[in-house]
Structure 1
Amino acid sequence: MTDEKESTGVPDYLPGPNVPSSTVPWWQQPKLRQLYLMMIILFMASTSLGYDASLLNGLQTMDTWAAYFNDPKGSRLGLFGALPGIGTFTVFLIAPYIADGLGRRTGTAIGCAVIVLGALIQAFPPQSNPDPMYLAGRIIVGVGSGICNGACPLLITEVAHPDHRGKITTIYNTLWYLGAIVAAWSTFGTLENLSGDVQWRIPTVLQAAMPGIQLLFIWFLPESPRWLISKGKLDKALKVLTTYHGNGNADDEFVKWEFAEIRETLRLEQEAASTGWKELVRTRGNRKRCLLIILTAIFSQCSGNGLVSYYLSQVLNTIGFEEPTEQALINGGLTIWCFVVSLTAAFLVDRFGRKTLFMFAGVGMLISFSIWTACSAVYDKTGSPAAGRAVLAMIFLFYGTAGAAWPGLTVAYTVEILPFNIRAKGLTLCTCVAALAGIYNQYVNPLGLDALGWRFYFVYIAILVVECVVIWFYFVETQGPTLEEIAVLFDGDDAPAGRARVGGEKTDQAVSYHEETLAR
């Protein structure tokens, strides 16, 4: 460890936040441009999640799938939807140790391999008794997703340039919708052009495509410099930062400052705290982080969005859109709309801030969902086609406002507020709480829709009211600081970044510097 520190030639303290990063746009810097283009491979982890969610929606429009599985409804259909979340929850304890012990790249690769296996298993169950093999495949997909998405966002956040971290990390989870688009239109294409069991088998097999590509090409990405530093591999970490953040310039002052800040902060974190699960609740700052993570995960899943994400077919049946091809077209169009909105919002995250976007989404969802409920009640009593079309319009508006925050910021906000020593565990906490919320959503929603119809929507109106209040009074804005400096917002001057002086400058000046950089 000592030898490696000396070999980097970088002192402990360097001229700090007054050291500017390059004013050249990222697309004009060859190495940074290369890094961000390679990150498309990492984004596929989120795309795989979206594919799985939309796949079940598309399969429900197919008579061949329904016949093969004896027309699943109610609790059985809910079980089909909930099993990936159950699989994700089963790896709750081991996923962060894979990411922290083996590295972000290796953790991502292991998860991808497991997803591929699960997708192939669920594509070929025997017709005589399809449930056991199909359900096993869906659980395995969830296990792989839990491992993969417990490592991949960490790599994206920790390797991105500080000036672009917010946008890049937020974009990650918006690619969920790209996977949903591929699944929606794949199922529509096979529904329109094929017959028999290949209608549903082909889209199911295609679920293995994106994690398969990611598994092959993940090794072309650099490992997280923060993980490398934590393992004492300082030369390798400095090389990553120099290559991609300094465009290959070993004398780049910003890279030297960034390396020193990361190394010093990690050293102080290791001295001040352990890395076990108890660390998540040991300090007041960490307890607040955990509560924010839990709330973010629950709100991302239980705000009414689960009704359409997994059971669009049942919702459309309640407002007069019952023809399979029509449902498939609506599903495909909705996924494209959601992707465009959420991707646009990702590029605005550093302009408006995280809390503002959360608040906009919460209020917009509450208003649109309330109108959605009212129009559903009118349709239920009158059968008015206009009321049915109004509900459909509100569904699109609901997802448009939700796209301002929840698709991208659920993961981005989680990894931002966590210090390195508990970042993997905190992200796993988010993933598992979201999975548990998803299990509730996927199991309860079809039962609620069957039993109460549109009246079931009042549950989500109440949740949205609570959501808006909590966001306004409790959420913390993280716009501006680096990953290391965000800790000051939760831990004050006791944070490692608050105690580490860089060139005699305090962290609040570093925060000011990055705010100025983002405003350029």
Structure 2
Amino acid sequence: MVNTSKQRIYNWYISLVAASCMVLYGYDAAVFNAVQGSKNWVNYYGNPDPNQIGAVNTATTVAGIIVGWFLTAPLSDYFGRRVAMFCGAFVVFFSTFIQAFAPAGHGIGAFIAGRALVGAGQALAIPAGPVYIGELAPPDIRGKIMSFWQMFFSVGSFIAYWVNYACTKNVPALGNWDWRMVVIFQLLFPGIICALIFFCPETPRWYVQHGKMDEAREALRKVRETEEEVESELLQIKQAIEYEKHVIDGRYAPLWKDKSIRKRLLLAFVLNFGQQVTGQGSLNSYSTIVYKKVFKDNSTIQLINALNGTFGILFTLNATWTVDRYGRKFLLFVGAIGMAICMVLSASVYIGTPDNADGSKDTGVASGIVFLMFLFALFYKPSWGAAVWIWSSEVFSMNVRAQAVAMSAQMQGVGNAIVNQIFPLILAKIGFKAMYMFAGINVLLAAFVWFFLPETKGYALEDMDTLFGGVSHTEKGAHFVENEVLGEALGKEGTELTVQQVEHASNKKETV
């Protein structure tokens, strides 16, 4: 039976507000892909060459990597997840105007600067979003809620591509506004996030980490149904954080010193890097120039992109019923194998069929290639799209979660920067044979998942440490919490008690 309590409904609401950060990423990934098909955009910026095209995307990812590695975690940990999301959305909002109104001629540099600011804003908001969702969602629906995180990427692409398609049908009337309109619509969701985020509670784990127990309790009461659940989870959080405070040194040092955390970080690095080199990252950014090898009409290409964005939403919804039923590992393995097959077939169809006189393909062949690209998205969206974010956001302990998720997320940027810079050149030289390269990468990713990745389905966040061979922060932290409570009972608040003192205090309390 579906749980429809007001707490569960509210949990979904605040999670979807946070998930709107992913719309920023989805819309932006589609924007530049879309405007590349505009002759007005190409002429406005002096017909940029493949290296300049690659640089536009690389600026976004490099700025994101720098901000994500060095600024996101301190901002999120010190000021809270909500502040990080707000700041990121605000930067994206501001940078949209730079992209839309950069000067003509040699103004591609200003456009690139605007893209770099978008990357910086995304790097602030996007890592904070899944951490926020993971720290508030109950374990039994955490995977399901987090699947909407990736679906909102598709929502962003959906809006961008359909706006762009509408503009391609009115190019003579719009002029340069045929691409400016697409860029301007990027204001929509940053505005929504900035307006709503501070009406959502901060996470109870952040409150406890900063000694705000009453605020943590009130936050939990909004998303848990009974007082017993609230107090039980609050105690677990406090125990884990007390252990991390007393035993673990610093916020970044454990990422490398603690064998269990280091293992999780390296696995998350590979997963997030792999997400962008499956081929989906290149298709997000360059499907327009890929489809130009099959179709000649830009309006047709943009319609295909818009339909791909639409089906992407439906495909991602598959994660909502599969991720908690079959697990993250199953989805990632099947997704990688499916994507590899689609890439092999699409390249083989293209290479094995003749071209028309204008360089396009016959309708049947072109439709077959488009079908295989859509089938590729069907495998990608619930697996390497959604499950990577779910796995990465739930495996780290509280003391390093913001840092680790931010750093892991920026490995997507590293993969994106590498592939997006070289893909236009590879496509120009070998055409659809590039898809064979992606097929090989996906086979390697499937092997990685099969042999190295533990399943995390159904585990509470505080239990992840034991899953990866570490100590239970909750169990170890119970000693420190008990010391604190018994220290007050003995009149020794703020001192560390010995085991004998704890036993004596316990006996004293029982006698009383």
TM-score (norm 1): 0.87
- Residue identity in the other structure for 1:426: A
Q: 2 CA distance for matches of 1:371 and 1:95?
A: 41
1:353 aligned residue (318, 327, 348): 327
C-alpha displacement of 1:281: 1.4
In structure 1, the residue matched to 2:371 is: 393
In structure 1, the residue matched to 2:482 is: none
Q: 2 CA distance for matches of 1:39 and 1:461?
A: 34
Q: 2 CA distance for matches of 1:430 and 1:138?
A: 21
Alignment of 1:11-410 (within 5 A): 25-27=2-4, 29-91=5-67, 92-193=69-170, 194-246=173-225, 252-319=227-294, 321-379=295-353, 385=362, 386-410=364-388
- Residue identity in the other structure for 2:128: A
Q: Structure 2 regions of 5+ residues with no counterpart? A: 480-512
In structure 2, the residue matched to 1:506 is: none
Aligned residue-pair number: 472
SS at match of 2:382: coil
SS at match of 1:125: coil
**Percent of residue pairs identical:** 25
Q: Evaluate the alpha carbon distance shift between residue 238 and residue 342 of structure 1 in structure 2; reply closer, same or farther with a 3 A threshold.
A: same
In structure 1, the residue matched to 2:483 is: none
Q: 2 CA distance for matches of 1:307 and 1:116?
A: 25
Alignment of 1:416-495 (within 5 A): 416-492=394-470, 494-495=471-472
The answer on whether the counterparts of 1:74 and 1:446 sit within 8 Å (CA) in structure 2 is yes
Q: 1 CA distance for matches of 2:90 and 2:10?
A: 25
The answer on whether the counterparts of 1:485 and 1:498 sit within 8 Å (CA) in structure 2 is no
Q: 2 CA distance for matches of 1:461 and 1:307?
A: 13
- Residue identity in the other structure for 2:420: Q
Alignment of 1:477-516 (within 5 A): 477-492=455-470, 494-497=471-474, 499=476
Q: Structure 1 regions of 5+ residues with no counterpart? A: 1-23, 503-520
- Residue identity in the other structure for 1:228: Y
The answer on whether the counterparts of 1:307 and 1:315 sit within 8 Å (CA) in structure 2 is no
Q: Evaluate the alpha carbon distance shift between residue 76 and residue 234 of structure 1 in structure 2; reply closer, same or farther with a 3 A threshold.
A: same
Q: 2 CA distance for matches of 1:264 and 1:215?
A: 33
Q: 1 CA distance for matches of 2:261 and 2:290?
A: 40
Q: 2 CA distance for matches of 1:328 and 1:369?
A: 21
- Residue identity in the other structure for 1:241: L
SS at match of 1:347: helix
Q: 2 CA distance for matches of 1:35 and 1:495?
A: 27
The answer on whether the counterparts of 2:127 and 2:409 sit within 8 Å (CA) in structure 1 is yes
Q: Evaluate the alpha carbon distance shift between residue 286 and residue 245 of structure 1 in structure 2; reply closer, same or farther with a 3 A threshold.
A: same
Tell me the alpha carbon deviations over residues 161-196 of structure 1, each in whole angstroms, 9 at most, x when there is no partner. 232212112321221000000000011112213421
C-alpha displacement of 1:134: 0.8
C-alpha displacement of 1:87: 1.4
The answer on whether the counterparts of 2:148 and 2:317 sit within 8 Å (CA) in structure 1 is yes
Q: 1 CA distance for matches of 2:129 and 2:230?
A: 23
Please give the root-mean-square deviation of Cα atoms over the aligned residues, in Å. Answer: 1.8
Q: Evaluate the alpha carbon distance shift between residue 384 and residue 312 of structure 1 in structure 2; reply closer, same or farther with a 3 A threshold.
A: closer
C-alpha displacement of 1:298: 1.3
Which range moved further: 49-58 or 399-408? 399-408
Q: Evaluate the alpha carbon distance shift between residue 374 and residue 498 of structure 1 in structure 2; reply closer, same or farther with a 3 A threshold.
A: farther
Q: 1 CA distance for matches of 2:307 and 2:365?
A: 20
C-alpha displacement of 1:46: 0.1
Q: 1 CA distance for matches of 2:354 and 2:269?
A: 36
Q: 1 CA distance for matches of 2:58 and 2:188?
A: 22
The answer on whether the counterparts of 1:95 and 1:147 sit within 8 Å (CA) in structure 2 is yes
The answer on whether the counterparts of 2:81 and 2:203 sit within 8 Å (CA) in structure 1 is yes
Q: 2 CA distance for matches of 1:207 and 1:121?
A: 12
Q: 2 CA distance for matches of 1:146 and 1:404?
A: 22
C-alpha displacement of 1:85: 0.6
- Residue identity in the other structure for 2:332: F
Q: 2 CA distance for matches of 1:234 and 1:140?
A: 36
Which range moved further: 172-181 or 190-199? 190-199
The answer on whether the counterparts of 2:343 and 2:436 sit within 8 Å (CA) in structure 1 is no
SS at match of 2:338: helix
TM-score (norm 2): 0.89
The answer on whether the counterparts of 1:35 and 1:221 sit within 8 Å (CA) in structure 2 is no
Which range moved further: 151-160 or 453-462? 453-462
C-alpha displacement of 1:37: 2.0
- Residue identity in the other structure for 2:114: G
The answer on whether the counterparts of 2:45 and 2:105 sit within 8 Å (CA) in structure 1 is no
Q: Evaluate the alpha carbon distance shift between residue 132 and residue 141 of structure 1 in structure 2; reply closer, same or farther with a 3 A threshold.
A: same
